[in-house]
């Protein structure tokens, strides 16, 4: 399975692509999409750059699934609103590309990758480098995006197993109740 992780940002959006085969993770690609080509006040232009960039990444690497970081309210409400719009452009591009989208908080990603939800960006970079056996540290935005893909690789497998258990439990329950589904 190939997973595309997205760390949304209005100026810089990170992306990371990881292949998953059982418990084995393989690095495919990572990088950033920068909106500096549009004027600072041109929000629609910047959102279009993000949409087009994510669409291009999805077309180039053909992922099976995607994941995006969930954004929380920051100290500055205006910054939060702008970041939310950037995230919306990324989500829309992924859905328009036909990809299922999972969402994780930064805390969930850091906990899954580093083991500590309050880990520093440098710790995320180092663990991503180790887990994917990279020759050097990825940039912070790309490392976060790769971390999201890694998180989904682990969480997605666990959720699939949970789904199997839930389906099994429903079948057992239906059999116990005389074959009727509730």
Q: Where are the alpha helices (DSSP H) in 12-139?
A: 43-61, 77-96, 106-113, 121-131
- Active site residues per annotation: 7, 69, 141
Separation of CA 173 from chain center? 35
CA distance 40 to 145: 24
Opening angle at CA 155, ends 112 and 81, nearest 5: 75
Task: Count Cβ atoms below 10 Å from residue 69 Cβ, excluding itself.
Answer: 25
- Residues 65, 3: contact at Cβ < 8 Å? yes
């Amino acid at each position: 399975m190939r997973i595309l992780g997205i760390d949304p940002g209005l100026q810089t959006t990170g992306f990371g692509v990881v292949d998953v085969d059982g418990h084995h993770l393989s690095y495919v690609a990572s990088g950033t999409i920068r909106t500096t080509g549009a004027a600072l006040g041109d929000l629609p232009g910047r959102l279009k750059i993000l949409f087009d960039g994510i669409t291009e990444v999805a077309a180039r690497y053909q992922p099976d699934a995607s994941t995006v970081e969930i954004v929380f309210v920051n100290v500055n409400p205006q910054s939060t609103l702008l970041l939310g719009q950037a995230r919306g452009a990324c989500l829309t591009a992924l859905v328009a590309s036909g990809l299922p989208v999972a969402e994780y908080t930064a805390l969930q990603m850091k906990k899954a990758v580093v083991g500590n939800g309050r880990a520093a960006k440098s710790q995320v970079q180092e663990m991503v480098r180790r887990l994917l056996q990279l020759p050097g540290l990825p940039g912070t935005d790309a490392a976060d995006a790769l971390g999201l893909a890694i998180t989904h690789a682990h969480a997605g497998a666990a959720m699939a197993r949970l789904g199997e258990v839930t389906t099994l439990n429903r079948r057992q329950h239906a059999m116990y109740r005389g074959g009727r589904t509730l």
